[in-house]
Amino acid sequence: MRKTFFIVMMLFGISLFVQAQGYVDVVYLKNGSIIRGHVIEQVPDEELKIKTYDGSLFIYRMDEVERIVKEGGTFRRRVGRVSNKLDLRGYKGFVDVGYSFANADFDFFEITTTHGYQFNNHIFAGGGIGFQYFSDPDYKIVPIYANFRFNFLNAKVTPYADLRTGGTLGDYEGFYNSISLGVRFTLKNRTAINVAVGYTYQELEYEYHYHRDGWDYYYWDNHENVNALTLKIGVEF
């Protein structure tokens, strides 16, 4: 009887061990990283500790954690590597500020906000609206545009290309086009800082108002082409 009990307990222990070998803890962080291992300690609303296959110990605040799940598979095969690959898919927004040095004294300050969808870590498409202030002459313009962007690398620091095309409203109306080359610096939680240099081309038409001796004259034959070197810095979220 005692021998039978011992055998049953031994088989039970082996079963638990095999089960433990068949599952690993997977921690998904809000910054896109994935850690596989064994959660050795978890304090609700405070922190967790996870140990990977190679013996490394990682400690994270719970507000950094998106979710924790279990995955099947051999412990040694599935654990041990921390994935630093980002997953940028989904809604994406940008806010940029810049200054453009243009021909014919048409220098201007610009702030824009862009929103759209990130299809993968490389391709983004969306649309945006902005505000431009020309100090000389004193004009205010609102560009509205479609935006396409491409990250060259799947990395935390990557060069990118950005194309915007649309039109403008306000004191000047006409065609708006901007192309930029920049560098994206990942922060955390899918946020980043973007620094870029670009070229902006605008065809601006406006109504000239002429007043003389109590008579008003209006005509639409004034046209300006603005070519500008643009420097930008922005936040991605």
As a whole number of angstroms, the distance between CA 138 and CA 193 comes to: 31
Mean pLDDT (the chain, rounded): 82
For range 172-193, the mean pLDDT: 92
For residue 76, the model assigns a pLDDT of 44
For residue 13, the model assigns a pLDDT of 55
Least confident of 19-33, 72-86, 171-185: 72-86
For residue 74, the model assigns a pLDDT of 47
Q: How confident is the model at residue 158 (pLDDT cuts 50, 70, 90)?
A: very high
Closest CA to 148 of 100, 201, 94, 225: 94
CA dist 159 → 153, 156, 193 (Å): 7, 10, 12
Compute CA 91 distance to the chain's CA centroid, rounded to the nearest angstrom: 9
As a whole number of angstroms, the distance between CA 141 and CA 168 comes to: 6
Please say if the pLDDT value at position 218 is more than 60.
no
As a whole number of angstroms, the distance between CA 87 and CA 31 comes to: 8
Digit-coded pLDDT (tens) for 118-142: 999 999 999 999 999 987 778 899 9
For residue 138, the model assigns a pLDDT of 80
Digit-coded pLDDT (tens) for 4-16: 555 545 544 554 5
For range 154-182, the mean pLDDT: 93
CA dist 41 → 44, 51, 222, 231 (Å): 10, 10, 71, 48
Least confident of 9-23, 128-142, 163-177, 195-209: 9-23
Please say if the pLDDT value at position 160 is more than 80.
yes
For residue 86, the model assigns a pLDDT of 72
For range 48-54, the mean pLDDT: 85
Query: Tokens for 209?
Result: 């108002």
CB atoms within 10 A of CB 120: 11
pTM of the model: 0.61
